[in-house]
Structure 1
Amino acid sequence: MHESRFRQVAADFFVAPQLGTEDFAAARAAGIRTVINNRPDGEAPDQLGDAEARALAEAAGLAYAFVPVTTGSIGPDTVAAFAAAVERNLGPYLAYCRSGTRSCHMWAFMAARRRPPQEIVEAAAAAGYDLSPVLPVLRRLAGEG
């Protein structure tokens, strides 16, 4: 993947599909400081596992966090773990999974406490992700509903 496939959803936050070995150096060159891996180990035979991704991130001078998310299992504990990974590290951040969709959802749920939900949906759409089905959830998280 080339750095242009890192999809910006906020000034300091990007999401991406599965990273390859060369993407960690590209992320660093693009100014990323922390990579968050949302892909559980063993999800697909061609993915980088946590240990290998961690080693590549560290070799590129990046902070790294592993917050695995299985499809359909995003809940308060997962979002809290994601937010903690962000709080413990410096941005800009790049979160990734198979397609970037789970990572975009994680960012959105975390961001809902400080950004207007409609703005979050629009930022995701500009990056190529449709979060309109979760707008009611974002509104509840933001205290709007």
Structure 2
Amino acid sequence: MKITPVDEKLSVAHQPSEAEIAALGANGVALLINNRPDGEEAGQPGTQAEAAAAKAAGLAYLHIPVTGPSLSRADVDGFREAVLAAPGPVVAHCRSGTRSLTLWAIGEVLAGNLGREEVLDYGARLGIDLSGAARWLDAHAGEPA
């Protein structure tokens, strides 16, 4: 599993195996967020298996499944609130880390911590394409908070 640090609290990752989830707990991670819908791809562990592995590793677990077309303001807010409330490091994952970073980036723009014009460059520095986040922000510009 590739893990990409985003800030001092959040990292995003590719799909972890159950053994990799156990290692997260041993490395001090407090919360694992799964941003994948169940059944998205053959061979992914799925929510029940991940939740059980997280519990066994002493991790809190949250499932916020999103796809590009289904991503909502409620998803962004729930993700941001969970990261901020976590008592320690958070690893959020999807298939590649892109959706997880997209949720974070949109939340940071909406909170005023990141400018819309900074999104693509921020993603590029981390090696993740945030064009989906930019499109979401453009499509939802002017909506009430």
Show CA shifts across 1:26-72 (max 9, x none): 22233321100000111112101111100101111111101000232
Letter in 2 for 1:46: G
Corresponding residue for residue 53 of structure 1: 50
| Distance in structure 2 (CA, Å) of the matches to 1:120 and 1:14 | 17
Tell me, yes or no, if the aligned pair for 1:111 and 1:120 is still in contact at 8 Å: no
- Say what the alpha-carbon RMSD is for the aligned residues: 2.3
Show CA shifts across 1:86-115 (max 9, x none): 244323111001111111101111222142
- Is 1:97 aligned to residue 91 of structure 2? no
| Distance in structure 1 (CA, Å) of the matches to 2:80 and 2:10 | 12
Letter in 2 for 1:12: K
Q: Is the deviation greater in 113-122 or in 91-100?
A: 113-122
Contiguous gaps of at least 5 residues in structure 1: none
Q: Which residue, 59, 66, 84 being the options, matches 2:63?
A: 66
- Give the secondary-structure state (helix, strand or coil) at the position aligned to 1:130: coil
Q: Which residue, 96, 109, 114 being the options, matches 1:116?
A: 114
- Give the secondary-structure state (helix, strand or coil) at the position aligned to 1:10: coil
Letter in 1 for 2:12: V
Once superposed, which parts of structure 1, at least 4 consecutive aligned residues long, lie more than 6 Å away? none
CA shift in 2, pair 1:38/1:134, >3 Å: closer
| Distance in structure 2 (CA, Å) of the matches to 1:97 and 1:114 | 25
Letter in 2 for 1:127: L
CA shift in 2, pair 1:29/1:114, >3 Å: farther
Letter in 2 for 1:35: L
Normalized against structure 2, the TM-score is what?
Answer: 0.81
Corresponding residue for residue 11 of structure 1: 8
| Distance in structure 2 (CA, Å) of the matches to 1:49 and 1:135 | 28
Tell me, yes or no, if the aligned pair for 1:9 and 1:123 is still in contact at 8 Å: no
| Distance in structure 2 (CA, Å) of the matches to 1:76 and 1:132 | 17
Contiguous gaps of at least 5 residues in structure 2: none
Aligned residues: 137
| Distance in structure 1 (CA, Å) of the matches to 2:129 and 2:14 | 15
